[in-house]
Amino acid sequence: MSLKSPSLSSNICVLAPSSVARLSGLCLLFSASLLLGMNSSQAAQAEAPTLDNQKFNACLDNLVQTGPFAGVKDTFAQYRPQQGDPSVLESLDYQPEFAKEPWDYLASLVDEERVLDGINASNQYADILARIESEYGVNRYDVLGVWGVESDFGTKLGKKDVVESLATLSCFGRRQSYFRGEYVSALKILKQGDIDKADFKGSWAGAFGQTQFMPSTFLQLAQDFDGDGRKDLVNSQADALASTANFLKNSGYQPGQPWGYEVLLPASINAKNDRKNKQPISHWRSLGLTLTDGSPLPDSLASAGLFLPSGKNGPAFLVGRNFDSFYAYNASENYALAIAHLSKQIENQDTNVEFATAWPTDDPGLSRKESREVQESLNLLGYDVGEVDGIIGDGTRRAIQKYQADNGLEPDGKAGKKIHQHLMDSSAELRQAAQQAEADETSLESESSIATGSSSSAKNAEAKSDSSGFLQNKSLMAIAISLLILLAIIIVSRRRH
């Protein structure tokens, strides 16, 4: 199954490498888009296609008569969408307006927040991860790397109805035959009862669950690791993480090997970016490559290829077979590097996400915290970016562009450290005022909640005015009864005296 279109490759799965191509239709992903600001709401700023509902229904009538749907006709009928979802076609045709450099791509996917969340996850799921390591031979931190990059450790699973998305993509737009296969697979999953229909939500292209499997990949590789009889990649971390390990294992993952490591290149070397050209480590030693602290290359990898994501003057890596299995997940080298890097930082419990060799730029990418600060500043300065979500999409970039033009800067729309600093300076007073206003509001709310004798916020207190009135009456009654009892005690004790 080939999905080689350049517009697809920008944010989604392209094509599984040869080693895993035998798993037909294994284009797993379409998913990193969940975390990278290439969602349909941003794409929706282009023209919205209108779907011909008659055509959609005629297409579905026709589709269900074809061979692949033979075993799932009842499920098809049960969950047949009333209408298509035009937003998934916008995402299908989405062309990013702004090229993304590797340092921009990495900065938002591997930042301090995600490393900390990964360390927490490694503790919380230590038992499951240990069992996965022994059963599949996949390092726990590599599984965590995929989980973190795919869904931010299960916090962002996508909100599109998988059946509706795939039915739409089966009848409109490019790649219909691919999506028809996924549609059939999705119906099989529902028929098997692994995933509840209400939980069957995902990315615009139908990738779903904690580690964003496409339905066909699910049918081939999903695991029931918690032993409840269902492969529930949405609600069961054990199932999802074991399924991911199973995917990596089937993609040629080698137990006990590191994915690779960052290296230093000697200045004299004529190095080329060619990770597929694996050479014995002795070869790289003889060329003068070392670890970043200058120590000799270890024997943990027998052979490795040189990966230079930004050319000879940026960070350099020797990568082995396990890096290729990350690549198989989403067919993008930068994506594979994000998983590798996150895995390593979680393992080392190191929130400093800089590489030893800096990226060849004077304007590095932004963490999600910095991205949120950029968005907040733009909103405060009157450049509407909408929701502050820490995801730099086209909407934010256009707002940056406008801000740059208004301030005599080159209007390239680039969201890097430079514009971050510029915006922080410009919006300093406004941010301070906004913070003060927020603090005032909070203290007002707490005063009002003290006044009403309730811990609810002002808004909640308003919404609950009936019940709080009732509670107030009850409190008054309780006080009155207490006073009466006290009075009775005093009277009785006086009589005794």
Give the residues lining the site for Ca ion (CB under 5 A): 224, 226, 228, 230, 232, 236, 239
CB of 238 to Ca ion, least distance (A): 7
Give the H/E segment covering residue 291.
Answer: strand 290-291
Give burial (CB, 10 Å; 0-12/13-18/19+) of 251.
buried
- Determine the Cα–Cα distance for residues 493 and 352; give it in Å rounded to an integer: 72
CB of 230 to Ca ion, least distance (A): 5
Closer of 113 and 224 to Ca ion (Cβ): 224
Closer of 233 and 336 to Ca ion (Cβ): 233
> 201-202 and 316-319 as β-strands: parallel, antiparallel, unpaired?
unpaired
Residue pair 366/107 in contact by the 8 Å Cβ criterion:
yes
**Amino acid (one-letter) located at 37:** G
Closer of 133 and 224 to Ca ion (Cβ): 224
Q: Which residue is nearest to Ca ion (CB)?
A: 224
Token digits for 398?
A: 């256009």
CB of 104 to Ca ion, least distance (A): 38
Closer of 62 and 124 to Ca ion (Cβ): 124
Closer of 85 and 232 to Ca ion (Cβ): 232
CB of 48 to Ca ion, least distance (A): 39
CB of 208 to Ca ion, least distance (A): 15
Give the 3-state secondary structure of residue 316: strand
DSSP string, 40-101: HHHHTTSPPPPP-HHHHHHHHHHHTTSGGGGGGHHHHHHT--SS--HHHHHHHT---SS---
CA nearest neighbour of 147 among 326, 353, 348: 326
Give the H/E segment covering residue 277.
Answer: strand 274-280
Give the H/E segment covering residue 278.
Answer: strand 274-280
- Determine the Cα–Cα distance for residues 37 and 366; give it in Å rounded to an integer: 13
Closer of 87 and 236 to Ca ion (Cβ): 236
CA nearest neighbour of 273 among 99, 265, 281, 364: 265
CB of 223 to Ca ion, least distance (A): 8
Helices 368-380 and 417-426 pack at an angle, to 10 degrees, of 40
Give the H/E segment covering residue 164.
Answer: helix 162-171
Closer of 139 and 236 to Ca ion (Cβ): 236
Query: Which neighbouring-strand residues pair with 280?
Result: 303
- Determine the Cα–Cα distance for residues 11 and 30; give it in Å rounded to an integer: 7
- Determine the Cα–Cα distance for residues 31 and 35; give it in Å rounded to an integer: 8
Query: Which neighbouring-strand residues pair with 306?
Result: 274, 318
Closer of 231 and 344 to Ca ion (Cβ): 231
CB of 160 to Ca ion, least distance (A): 23
CB of 205 to Ca ion, least distance (A): 24
Closer of 239 and 373 to Ca ion (Cβ): 239
φ, ψ (nearest 5 deg) of residue 305: -110, 155
CB of 227 to Ca ion, least distance (A): 7
Closer of 113 and 226 to Ca ion (Cβ): 226
Residue pair 253/224 in contact by the 8 Å Cβ criterion:
no
Query: Which neighbouring-strand residues pair with 383?
Result: none
Token digits for 440?
A: 């005032």
Enumerate residues 6+ apart whose C-beta is below 8 A from 139.
133, 322, 343
CB of 200 to Ca ion, least distance (A): 16
CB of 194 to Ca ion, least distance (A): 8
Closer of 238 and 339 to Ca ion (Cβ): 238
CB of 249 to Ca ion, least distance (A): 18
Closer of 39 and 211 to Ca ion (Cβ): 211
φ, ψ (nearest 5 deg) of residue 347: -60, -45
Residue pair 222/192 in contact by the 8 Å Cβ criterion:
no
